Amino acid sequence: MRKILIIYMVTLILFSACKNNPVTIDWVSSSFDTKWEVKQIELETGGVNNSNAIKLFSNEKQQMIKGFGGCFNELGWEALKILPEERKDQIIKSLFDTIGGCKFNFCRMPLGANDYSVGWYSYDEVKDDFGMEHFSISRDKERLIPYIKKAQAYNPKIKIWASPWCPPSWMKTNFHYACNPDVVNDLSESGRGAEMETQFKMDGRYLSSYALYFSKFVEAYRNEGINIYAVHVQNEPNSCQNFPSCVWNPSDLATFIGEYLGPEIRNRNLETEVWLGTVERHQIERIDTILNRPGARKYISGIGFQWDGKGAISKVHEKYPDLELMQTETECGNGSNDWAAAEHTFGLMKYYFNNGANAYMYWNMILDESGKSRWGWKQNSMITVNSQTGQVVYNPEFYVMKHLSYFIKPGAYKIKTSDDSCLAFKNEDSVVLTVYNSGEEEERQFILNDISFTTVLPAKSLNTFKIKI
C-alpha cells in the first residue's frame, strides 16, 4: 500500500509540474511590417485533426541537408570597406555567427573574375603559359581572401566551393573574357559566341593547362588556410554573356572532366570534389551526355543547378539518386529588395528542397545601394550598405534565408509533409517547420506524431516553428 501511495504521489507531482510548465515550441514570424518576431506556442496533446491540418511525418526521411550560404564576391567586400571595423564585423557576424547569426556554413566563390568582380582578371593572363609559371592569386588577397577570413572567424567550418566564370582569355577561341559583344565590353562582333558551341580551345595543351589552373588554385588557397571543398567546372556553361563567361558543348565538357580535370585533381591527391555545375538549362539530355561518359561520370560527385536549371533537377534526382544536388545561386531579381522578392525566394527554396537539393545558396550577400555589377545589371542582396551615408539595411531576403539556415543544422534531413506548400526538416533534437501564409490572417493546425498545435498565421507572413523531440 505504501509503495502504491509513493507511485501516486510521484505521478501527481509530475502532472503538476507539466501543468505549471507546459511544453512550448519556438516560433519566429516575419512579414513586410515585422521581421524576425520571436514568439512561443504551447503544444497540445491529442488535438483534434481538422481537415486543413498539415501533418509532419518525422520518420519519413528524404535527403540530408548540408547547409546554407551565399557567394563571396569582390563587390560585396568593396561595399563593406567603407564601414569602420566594428560595423563591418557586425554584418559578417549576422551572416556567419553560429549562435545568433544566419549560421551560414556552405558558400560559393568565383575562381577568377565573375560579373560581381571589380573588373576582369584571371590567375594567369600570360599568353601560352601552359606550365602556369605565372599563376598567382595575389589579386584575391585584396578582397576575396579577407572576406572569407572574416567569415571564418565566426564559423571556421564553412565549406567553400568555387566555379570559374571564364578561363584565362588566351584559352578561349575569341581571346576575350566575354561572349556577347556589348557597350560594357570591347568584344568585337566577330568574337560573339553561341549556345552549344564550345569557346574553349579543345587542344590537349590548353586542356591540360586549364586542369593545372584548377589544381594550383586549390593548392594556393590551402596555403592561405582556406580549403576548397569542391570545384564546379563552369558557371552556366550554356550562357553567352557580356560579362566573364565561356560556352561549352556538353560532350567537350565531359572530355575536360574525364580526361583532364578529374585525373589532375586525383593525381595531386587533392580532397576537392569535382561537380557538374552550374547547370542553368532545363534540358536533361545535356546532363545525360556528360554522365553517360564513364570516364567523366566517375569523377563527378554532384550537380549544381541555378536559374532555368531548376527545370531539370526533379528528373536528375529521379534518374541519378546517388548524386548530391545543390542549388547554387538564388535568382537575383532587379534590385527591388522588397517583400515580393522574399516571397519569390521562399518559393524557390520550396521547389529545390522538394526536388532533392541538399544545399541552398543566396547570390550577393552584401552590395552597395546601386546593386549594380561592373557590367550594369542591378540585382538584389541580403544586406545593403549605402556608400554615401554608411546606412546598413537588412533586406527581406536576409530574413527568408535566416528562417531556414538558423534552425536547420548541417546533417538534418528533410521530412515528408502532407502539404508541399511548407518545408519540414528533422535535426537530432528537433523538427523544424517553415510555412508561408500568402493570403489574409489564417488559423492553421499542424500535427507531428501525437502532438499538435494551432495558431493564427499573420497575413502574408513567413513562419518557422522549432519543435523539440
What contacts 298, CB < 8 A, 6 or more positions away?
258, 262
Residue-level length of the chain: 469
∠ CA(29), CA(36), CA(67), 5° rounding? Answer: 90
Residue 197's identity, in one-letter code, is E
Distance CA(341)–CA(351), nearest Å, equals 15
Q: Measured between alpha carbons, how far is 381 from 384 in angstroms, rounded to an integer?
A: 7
Backbone φ and ψ of 428, nearest 5°: -65, -35
Sheet-wide strand order for 461-468: 37-42, 24-30, 461-468, 430-437, 422-426, 413-417, 54-64, 442-448, 451-457, 44-45
Element counts in the chain: helices (H) and strands (E): 12, 21
Sorted by where each starts, the structural domains of the chain and their CATH numbers stand as 23-60+420-468 (2.60.40.1180), 66-407 (3.20.20.80)
Q: What is the pTM of this model?
A: 0.93
How far is 141 from 146, CA to CA, in rounded Å? Answer: 7
Question: Cα–Cα distance between 243 and 119 in angstroms, integer?
Answer: 10
CA-CA distance, 70 to 91, in Å (whole number)? Answer: 14
User: Are the beta carbons of 233 and 163 closer than 8 angstroms?
Assistant: yes
Q: Could you tell me which of 212, 201, 92, 111 has the C-alpha nearest to residue 152? A: 92
State which H helix or E strand residue 343 sits in. Answer: helix 339-354
Give CA–CA dist 37/399, Å, rounded. 11
Q: What's the distance, CA 10 to chain centroid?
A: 50
- In angstroms, the CA 383 to CA 366 distance is 5
Q: Tell me the β-bridge partners of 367.
A: 384
Which residue, among 180, 177, 306, 137, has the nearest Cα to 232 in the 3D structure?
Answer: 306
Preceding amide of 278 cis, omega within 30: yes
User: How does pLDDT run along the chain (469 residues), one tens digit per residue?
Assistant: 443 333 332 233 233 333 444 567 899 999 999 999 999 887 765 555 677 899 999 999 999 999 999 999 999 999 999 999 999 999 999 999 999 999 999 999 999 999 999 999 999 999 999 999 999 999 999 999 999 999 999 999 999 999 999 999 999 999 999 999 999 999 999 999 999 999 999 999 999 999 999 999 999 999 999 999 999 999 999 999 999 999 999 999 999 999 999 999 999 999 999 999 999 999 999 999 999 999 999 999 999 999 999 999 999 999 999 999 999 999 999 999 999 999 999 999 999 999 999 999 999 999 999 999 999 999 999 999 999 999 999 999 999 999 999 999 999 999 999 998 899 999 999 999 999 999 999 999 999 987 889 999 999 999 999 999 8
Half-sphere exposure of 237 (CA within 13 A, CB side): 29
